[in-house]
Every structure is written in C-alpha cells, then in structure tokens.
Amino acid sequence: MKTYLTVSAAMMTGAVFGGFAVQGLNAQSRQLKAYSIGEIIPIAGATVSPGYLAAARKALADAGGRSMGTLKGRIFHAEGESPPVGVAMTEWDSADAARAFFQSKVWKDLAPEGEKTAKTIRRYIVEVEP
C-alpha cells in the first residue's frame, strides 16, 4: 500500500512540475503584439486614388496587419510638440511581422503612389505588453 502512495505522489509531483515547465516554454515563445504608427502630412490638393487605398489595405491585411482606421480621425494635442496632421496606425501580431511588411517588395512597390498624396514624417513600431 505504501508503494502505491509513493508512486502516486511521485506521479502527481511530476505532473505539476511538467505543467509549470510547459507553461514557461509557452510564455517564452509568445511574441508581443505590436502597432505601427506613421505620422503623415497630406500634400495639399492631392487626392488619394481609390485603387491605391484598396491595394494598400489589401497588402496590409494579407501581411496580417489590422488597420485601426485612423487616417481620417481627429488628433488632439495633449502635451509636448504639436501632433502630426495625420496618423496611420496598424495592429500586428508581432513587431517582426510589421518590420517584414514595411521592408517587403509589396510595400516598396506601393510607396511611389502613396508619396504622391502624403509625406510620411516618421514611422515606428511599438510592442505592447500582454
């Protein structure tokens, strides 16, 4: 009887430690979500072509980006320097996915058309804690 208790206790202890080990490994492999933020100045009098918007949105979605719909949103100054005129925000599953997209041929091929209507002052990627 004592042997059964010892074996049972050892199995339970092994299961508990195994569970913690698996949880720790899963936590290590999880990447943080990220947001890309582009500060934009529209070019006066320029009109964005519907074809460009559709192609850019499709390219973002195909790469796993989720547009936050901020292009026509109002920007409010809170503190520091003046805010940009326009902001484009996209949610990504990871900073690596965002970087890969902005370095991709698809995005570089779209850039000349986008530059006809807006100048990107800066674009950056921010990881967010879970």
Confidence (pLDDT) at 16:
54
pLDDT at 6: 59
Structure confidence at residue 87 (pLDDT): 94
Place of tokens 């990220």: 34
Close Cβ partners of 117 (under 8 Å, ≥ 6 residues apart): 42, 43, 46, 47, 48, 49, 52
Residue with more model confidence, 62 or 23: 62
How far apart are alpha carbons 102 and 33 in whole angstroms? 16
Fold for 34-127, please state it.
Alpha-Beta Plaits (3.30.70)
Helix axes 95-102, 105-114, angle to 10 degrees: 60
Q: Is the model's pLDDT at 19 over the cut of 70?
A: no
Name, in order, each residue with C-beta under 8 angstroms of 126's C-beta and a sequence gap of 6 or more. Answer: 34, 35, 36, 37
3-class SS of residue 5: helix
Rounded mean pLDDT of the chain? 85
Domain ranges of the chain: 1-30, 34-127
Q: Are 92 and 127 in contact, with CB atoms under 8 Å apart?
A: no
CA proximity to 118, closest of 35, 36, 65, 39: 39
pLDDT digit string, tens, across residues 43-53: 998 888 889 98
